[in-house]
Amino acid sequence: MRFGYVLFIGSLMTAGVGEGADKKFQHTPDELKIWELTNLERKGKDKMPLKLNPALSKLARAHSENMAKQQKQDHTLDGKTPFDRLREAGYKYFKAGENIGSADGGTIDMVMKAWMDSKGHAENILNPDYAEIGVGIARDKDGVTYYTQLFAKPRK
């Protein structure tokens, strides 16, 4: 399994994503399981649960799909960082971070364990400043699975 993480702290002014945005987006059972396991990890460390945001999940899934298409695990694809993708989607945030991973086989539990065993990934998962999460999963033509967690503290 290969994993990466990125964290950005700062203030960014962009057009907002409305509360009703992406109501038609449907999470897969595996995406929901990652969200649930993430909140279990947070609960175990007395952190508030993360709200699952469909707009963030749409971005996370699109990034996982792009990694799968290119068969490349990276935070920056096509010259765009996670923060570029957030800005282009109009998501306003104070703070954002991203965990990515890929695995040929394995289970969601194994992916979460690998993230929690990695200092940077665990810091993103347990960061008390984050309030929302998006989760996206995609598979490439060879069956390798790509995972993205997109964390944020939204601007109100």
- Tell me the pLDDT tens digit for each residue of 55-97: 999 999 999 999 999 999 999 999 999 999 999 999 999 999 9
Backbone angles phi, psi at 13, to 5 degrees: -95, 120
* 97 token code pair: 């971070």
Categorize the per-residue pLDDT at 7 as very low, low, confident or very high, splitting at 50, 70 and 90. very low
Under a CB-based contact definition with an 8 Å cutoff, are residues 41 and 114 in contact? no
Cα distance between residue 107 and residue 70, in whole Å:
22
| Strand partners for 97 | 7, 151
Under a CB-based contact definition with an 8 Å cutoff, are residues 59 and 155 in contact? no
Q: What is the pLDDT of residues 100-145, one digit of tens each?
A: 999 998 899 999 999 999 999 999 999 999 999 999 999 999 999 9
Q: Does position 48 have pLDDT exceeding 60, yes or no?
A: yes
Cα distance between residue 121 and residue 153, in whole Å:
17
The owner of tokens 């990034």 is 63
Q: What is the pLDDT of residues 15-31, one digit of tens each?
A: 233 344 446 889 999 99
